[in-house]
């Protein structure tokens, strides 16, 4: 069995990730931006904020689960949660450290938490985010929010969630996905 931390294996998996962006990056899930625009905008926001490389990578990859799902658009249309955060976590496992993967796995729950703890956040959600919130279980209970916030990756998941909502500017972030490859390579190889 191949070790994903070996350079050749990591490079092959990164090639696959960038292949997914090439093949499915133009897909939309209802927002005014494509998957690739949203991913690049997210990474650029994290970068501009001076966030850690792990959060920049998480921002770039947080919605890859939508692209590897057989038909995320149909799931949304049919009123089903595509569980993209769990798909992404499983897909990226073994390639990146938990500081990249856990915020991705938790960014949907971060939205559910923020809606519970910050009424202004709930009011500012895009129409698509409001709809997916319903599909993803709705607002957390107080006890669920407290348990979520106790997780060591909660702060990064919340930061990622705020980035996610901000990265929906039509026409921005179209061509920059390849420039993040060196960052992903460093993280994948533990350098």
pLDDT in tens, 99-157: 999 999 999 999 999 999 998 999 998 888 888 888 888 999 999 999 999 999 999 99
Q: Kindly state whether residue 79 falls inside one of the protein's structural domains.
A: yes
Q: Does residue 2 form part of some domain?
A: no
Can you give the residue range of the structural domain that contains 139?
7-188
- Average per-residue pLDDT for the chain: 88
Is 162 a domain residue?
yes
- Spatial contact of 154 and 148, defined as CB atoms under 8 Å apart: yes
Residue 121 falls inside a structural domain? yes
Report the 10 Å Cβ neighbour count for 49.
14
Tell me whether residue 88 is in a domain.
yes
Above 70 in pLDDT, residue 71? no
pLDDT at 30: 72
Identify the band that residue 67 occupies on the pLDDT scale cut at 50, 70 and 90.
Answer: confident
**Where residue 88 sits, what CATH number does that domain have?**
1.10.3210.10
- Sign of the CA dihedral with 133 first, then 38, 14, and 48 last: negative
Whole-number Å distance between alpha carbons of 4 and 23: 23
Task: Pick 77 or 49 by higher pLDDT.
Answer: 49
**Number of separate domains in the chain:** 1
- Is 1 inside any structural domain? no
Report if residue 181 sits inside a domain. yes
pLDDT at 58 over 80: yes
- Range with the largest mean pLDDT of 17-31, 35-49, 79-93, 167-181: 35-49
pLDDT, residue 135, reads 82
């Amino acid at each position: 069995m191949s070790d994903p931390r070996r350079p050749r294996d990591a490079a092959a998996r990164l090639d696959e990730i960038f292949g997914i962006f090439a093949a499915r990056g133009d897909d939309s899930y209802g927002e005014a931006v494509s998957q690739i625009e949203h991913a690049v905008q997210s990474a650029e926001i994290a970068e501009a904020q001076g966030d850690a490389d792990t959060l920049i990578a998480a921002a770039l990859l947080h919605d890859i689960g939508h692209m590897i799902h057989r038909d995320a658009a149909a799931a949304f249309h049919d009123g089903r949660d595509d569980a993209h955060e769990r798909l992404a976590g499983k897909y990226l496992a073994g390639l990146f450290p938990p500081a990249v993967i856990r915020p991705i796995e938790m960014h949907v729950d971060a939205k559910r938490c923020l809606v519970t703890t910050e009424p202004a956040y709930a009011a500012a959600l895009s129409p698509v985010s409001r709809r997916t919130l319903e599909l993803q279980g709705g607002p957390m209970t107080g006890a669920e929010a407290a348990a979520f916030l106790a997780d060591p990756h909660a702060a990064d998941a919340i930061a990622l969630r705020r980035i996610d909502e901000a990265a929906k500017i039509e026409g921005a972030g179209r061509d920059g996905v390849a420039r993040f490859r060196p960052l992903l390579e460093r993280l994948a190889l533990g350098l």
